[in-house]
Structure 1
Amino acid sequence: MVRRAACVVTPADISAAPSGGTGPAGDFVAAPVRRRRRDGAVRREAVLDAGLAVFSTRGLHGASLDRIAERAGLSKANLLYYFSSKEALYVAVLRRVLDVWLDPLQALDARREPAEALGAYIRAKVTLSRDAPQASRLFCLEIVRGAPLLRAELEGDVRALVDAKAAVLSGWIAQGRIAPHDPHHLIFSIWAITQHYADFAVQVNAITGRDLSDADFFERTVASTQRLILASLGLP
């Protein structure tokens, strides 16, 4: 008989342990699995970040998987483990961009005061233009191309969300809480103004000598956009 120290776990111990068990063998198996999953999630996010950086400057056709893999600190083979092709990675990056850019719109709730809700939405959008300009630029590039890889998303979840928030605006109009305005065009106007500071940041800087990284310029941009939009709706 071979004597085992208590701290050693053998294959027999592992096979005998129940799946997901909390005993010594279960912990022995689960910890590496959790670590691999965590490491895999980190690498996947690194690939998405690298994809965003490269796609937003070079577009889909100008980008290469080799360049993206290098930026992510992975081999091309490792990158292809997470995404089967350049197009698959591009779509995944675009979907994450949509999630980020549309999330503030979720907070446009009929139970809130219109001035507070719209003011907060405008601030959130300008903040995204400051903190995630690459996301806005990539989305702009895709739309200019006719959104061939994103049209289904636009016609599905995006349209449903915008229609739902347009209904909130319509409800405020019907209640006399904001002045009449086409709700879809109101949302488009907020997008156009706030994302201008990301998509045309070079132009803004060339003309003003400033950008959203300047705290004072950021606050003035938020306040100016809030006044412009809220005043058109008869709000203070």
Structure 2
Amino acid sequence: MNSEISSSRVRLARERTMESIHAAAIAEFSEKGFQGATTQAIAQRAGMKKTQLHYYINGKEELYEELLQKVLQVWADIIQFDPGLIEPQAVLSRYIRNKMDFSFNQPELSRIFTSEVLSGGHYLQKYWPNAIENIRNKENLIRQWIGQGVLRPLDPRLFIMHIWAVTQYYADFAVQVNQMYGEIGNAETQEHIIAEVTTLILRGCAV
């Protein structure tokens, strides 16, 4: 029993340490990108020595790929069209809200993805096939809506990409948003922005 308790404590301590390392790495990669980030800086952000950090990770590249996969997995979970909803307005509204909530709540993770894309997307090669398959599924549903006359004729893929562009802006350009519009950290302001973006997109596709 004592051995089990000890093992559980060790595991919990390791999990907490890794959470601290991930938080530090997210901040460092988000601010400086892969090339600019260093394990020394990540260790300092995590409140440990570089030698301690390398006890838990093999290197910067492995840590970076872990975080990149984390944001891709989160997006894979939230950027699906909700199968429990039928009406285009409800489906798109939920989709937009999920994207906006991620931009508000995890902007640094979003910026890691954007930074990787801007640097050429070397670490995203495994991601693109799944992403393209995902967007094709959405295109098919949007074409059905167009055929039913509930959406105006439009380019389905561009429509989805435009949703990404608008919703991700609030993460990638949060500094500009805060300067031009004001602090967007409170729930009331975020709800107002979500409502405005949703109305803009839904009216644009004539739902």
- Fold conserved (TM > 0.5)? yes
* Structure 2: distance between partners of 1:169 and 1:41: 42
The equivalent of 2:191 in structure 1 is 219
Q: 1:78 to 1:188 in 2, by over 3 A?
A: same
Whether 1:151 and 2:125 are equivalent positions in the alignment is yes
* Structure 2: distance between partners of 1:183 and 1:105: 15
* Structure 2: distance between partners of 1:37 and 1:135: 25
How far does the alpha carbon of each residue in 1:155-181 deviate from its partner, in whole angstroms, 9 at most, with x for none? 233223222233332333333332232
Runs of 4+ with >6 A deviation = none
Greater relative CO (CA pairs within 8 A, separation 6+): 2
The equivalent of 2:16 in structure 1 is 42
On the 8 A contact 2:85/2:91 being kept in 1, the answer is no
On the 8 A contact 2:178/2:184 being kept in 1, the answer is no
How far does the alpha carbon of each residue in 1:22-63 deviate from its partner, in whole angstroms, 9 at most, with x for none? xxxxx3333322332232222222211111100111111211
Please report how far the alpha carbon of residue 136 of structure 1 lies from its aligned counterpart in structure 2 after TM superposition: 1.7
Q: 1:232 to 1:47 in 2, by over 3 A?
A: same
Contiguous gaps of at least 5 residues in structure 1: 1-26
Whether 1:193 and 2:166 are equivalent positions in the alignment is yes
Please report how far the alpha carbon of residue 69 of structure 1 lies from its aligned counterpart in structure 2 after TM superposition: 1.4
For residue 53 of structure 2, give the secondary structure of its aligned residue in structure 1: helix
* Structure 2: distance between partners of 1:31 and 1:171: 56
Please report how far the alpha carbon of residue 131 of structure 1 lies from its aligned counterpart in structure 2 after TM superposition: 1.2
The equivalent of 1:164 in structure 2 is 137
For residue 149 of structure 1, give the secondary structure of its aligned residue in structure 2: helix
Please report how far the alpha carbon of residue 65 of structure 1 lies from its aligned counterpart in structure 2 after TM superposition: 0.5
Counterpart among 107, 112, 128 of residue 86 in structure 2:
112
The equivalent of 2:149 in structure 1 is 176
Q: 1:187 to 1:166 in 2, by over 3 A?
A: same
Please report how far the alpha carbon of residue 118 of structure 1 lies from its aligned counterpart in structure 2 after TM superposition: 0.8
* Structure 2: distance between partners of 1:150 and 1:107: 23
For residue 81 of structure 1, give the secondary structure of its aligned residue in structure 2: helix
Normalising by structure 2, what TM-score? Answer: 0.88
Sequence identity percentage: 36
Q: Match of 2:140, as an amino acid?
A: A
Map residues 98-137 of structure 1 onto 2, 5 A cutoff: 98-109=72-83, 111-137=85-111
The equivalent of 2:34 in structure 1 is 60
Please report how far the alpha carbon of residue 218 of structure 1 lies from its aligned counterpart in structure 2 after TM superposition: 1.8
* Structure 1: distance between partners of 2:56 and 2:138: 35
Whether 1:81 and 2:81 are equivalent positions in the alignment is no
Q: 1:46 to 1:112 in 2, by over 3 A?
A: farther
How many equivalent residue pairs?
A: 207
* Structure 1: distance between partners of 2:149 and 2:25: 46
Normalising by structure 1, what TM-score? Answer: 0.79
The equivalent of 2:176 in structure 1 is 203
For residue 152 of structure 1, give the secondary structure of its aligned residue in structure 2: coil
* Structure 2: distance between partners of 1:170 and 1:83: 46
